[in-house]
Amino acid sequence: MKASRIAAAGALAGTAVLALSVPAFAHVSVQPEGTAAKGGYAVVDFKVPNERDNASTTKLEVTFPTDHPLASVMPQPVPGWTAKVTKSTLDKPLEMHGKKITEAVTKVTWTADGKGIEPGFFQKFPVSVGTLPEDTDELVFKAIQTYSNKEVVRWIEVPQDGQEEPENPAPVLELSAAEDGHHGSSSSDEASDSDDAEAASAKTAAAEPADSSDTTARVLGVVGIVVGALGVAYGVVAGRRRTDA
């Protein structure tokens, strides 16, 4: 009897753990490939797991934020899927590379050409996005997942700080701090270059006096020899004059 109770309790605990863990990974999510730094470009993956045992995922609609519109959105081709990009006119134009952008992508829809995402599988949908905003720490992408049995799941609930995760959370992309630009040298590189220049200058300055001193010594040596030779000649001539006298 005791063993049966223990087994029953264990099974119940296992079921509870499974029930608690499923929502953590079963929803549509978005993650960057590498980093998603503010002010830069990134490739992000929308990960779509199939949650049903008797139906496949055949369609995914992702709505892009209008409060922080992205001027560049390019989905990567996914075998077995057709991507459709929807653009809308912006209330406030964006500046990008000196040009005004009056419209931006507001939705990307992927539709399966065949069976789609079957039970027990997931699919990633990569998208290149930029430039990422610098005045926010995250971007929210609301998503709609459609199954082959016509069931629709709306992943549109925005998670709130300090609250439990909603039942159907929207994918949220966390943005990292802005990175240093790749154009030009950074301050550390400039400091390093400056140090190298100073070291080279000091080396040159140290070398120049040595070369100058060496040259001066040689000149003085030659002058000394000449003066000495002249002195000897003068002494010989003076001695002959005395002898003749």
pLDDT in tens, 202-219: 443 443 443 444 444 454
pLDDT band for 162, please (50, 70, 90 cuts). Answer: confident
- The 3-state DSSP class for residue 49 equals strand
pLDDT for 111: 98
| One-letter identity of residue 13 | A
In this structure, what are the phi and psi dihedrals at residue 72, rounded to the nearest 5 degrees? -120, 120
For 180-192, what is the mean pLDDT?
41
Q: What is the model's pTM?
A: 0.63
Could you tell me which residue, 245 or 139, shows the higher pLDDT?
A: 139
Q: Are 175 and 137 within 8 A, CB to CB?
A: yes
pLDDT band for 128, please (50, 70, 90 cuts). Answer: very high
Sign for the CA dihedral angle at 25, 126, 68, 64 comes to negative
Q: Tokens 């040595």 sit at which residue?
A: 210
pLDDT for 12: 44
Structure tokens given for 113 = 């050409």
What integer best gives the mean pLDDT of the chain? 75
Could you tell me which residue, 88 or 9, shows the higher pLDDT?
A: 88
Residues 6+ apart with CB under 8 A from 20: none
Q: Is the pLDDT of residue 142 over 60?
A: yes
* CA–CA distances in Å: residue 149 to residues 101, 111, 137: 40, 15, 37
Q: Which helix (H) or strand (E) holds 148?
A: none
Q: Is the pLDDT of residue 28 over 80?
A: yes
Q: Which stretches within the chain are classed as H helix?
A: 2-26, 187-244
Closest CA to 85 of 61, 67, 102, 55: 61
Q: Is the pLDDT of residue 86 over 70?
A: yes
Positions of E strands within 18-155: 29-32, 42-49, 57-63, 72-75, 81-96, 99-112, 122-130, 138-140, 142-147, 152-155
Could you tell me which residue, 193 or 98, shows the higher pLDDT?
A: 98
Three-state secondary structure string covering 164-188: CCCCCECCEEECECCCCCCCCCCHH
pLDDT band for 18, please (50, 70, 90 cuts). Answer: very low
pLDDT for 99: 76
- The 3-state DSSP class for residue 151 equals coil
For 14-40, what is the mean pLDDT?
70
pLDDT for 47: 98
Q: What is the dihedral of CA 190, 194, 199, 201, to 10 degrees?
A: 140
Q: What is the pLDDT of residues 55-70, one digit of tens each?
A: 999 999 999 998 899 9
